[in-house]
Amino acid sequence: MTARLDHVGICVPDLRAAVAWYCEALHLTEEHAFTVPGTDLQGVMLRHVGGHRIELLHRPDAVPGLVADGPVEAAGTLGYGHLCLAVDTADEVDTEFARLVAAGAGVRMSPRPAPRPDARMAFVADPYGNLIELIDRAG
């Protein structure tokens, strides 16, 4: 058996608002909502037509974790750093960056050359401070 990535889980303070933002901004659809019996944990699994999933989780008494100003600061803390979405061309990094910022994402790193040769990247933050990278993998 070979394991493969199925989804990324992100805890959020407002589940309904997060579902609305992620569905609109990242073109996801709600696959299913759930609760974990015997707990106050609720969640919603979101899916993209391309197959990737993001699971949004909510517990009323959850406490904030790291809210990094950018990828370098996030890499200074062990654990989750960012979610990365690939686009097909370098121009799409700029287009998607602008679209996500217009949808309410925070600017964390404007589009620029990536450390990998012939690639572009950018970082935004969702409304809760979670980092989202955009990268051109076409090169």
Measured in whole angstroms, how far is the alpha carbon of residue 93 from the centre of its chain?
15
Same domain, 11 and 50: yes
**Token pair for 69:** 């100003």
Per-residue pLDDT, averaged over 20-25, amounts to 98
Identify whether residues 82 and 48 lie together within a single domain.
no
User: pTM of the entire structure?
Assistant: 0.89
Both 77 and 131 in one domain: the answer is yes
Average per-residue pLDDT in the chain? 92
- Tell me, yes or no, whether 50 lies in a domain: yes
Query: Quick one: 84 and 50 in the same domain?
Result: no
Domain that holds residue 21: 7-58
1 occurs within a structural domain? no
Domain membership flag for residue 63: no
User: Is the pLDDT confidence value at 68 over 90?
Assistant: no
In the three-class reduction of DSSP (H, G, I as helix; E, B as strand; rest coil), residue 37 is classed as coil
Same structural domain, 84 and 119: yes
Same-domain status, 43 and 75: no
* 84 and 120 in a common domain: yes
CA–CA–CA angle 58, 63, 68 (5° rounding): 100
CATH of the domain at 122: 3.10.180.10
Residues 30 and 80 in one domain: no
Beta bridge partners of 8: 54
Beta carbons within 10 angstroms of residue 109's beta carbon? 17
* Residues 41 and 88 both lie in one domain: no
Using the predicted structure, report yes or no on whether residue 1 has a pLDDT greater than 70: no
Vertex 100: Cα angle to 96 and 104 (nearest 5): 170
Side-chain half-sphere exposure of 114, counting CA atoms within 13 A = 21
| Helix/strand/coil percentages in the chain, nearest 5 | 20, 35, 45
DSSP string, 127-139: TTS-EEEEEE---
pLDDT band at 24 (very low <50, low <70, confident <90, very high): very high
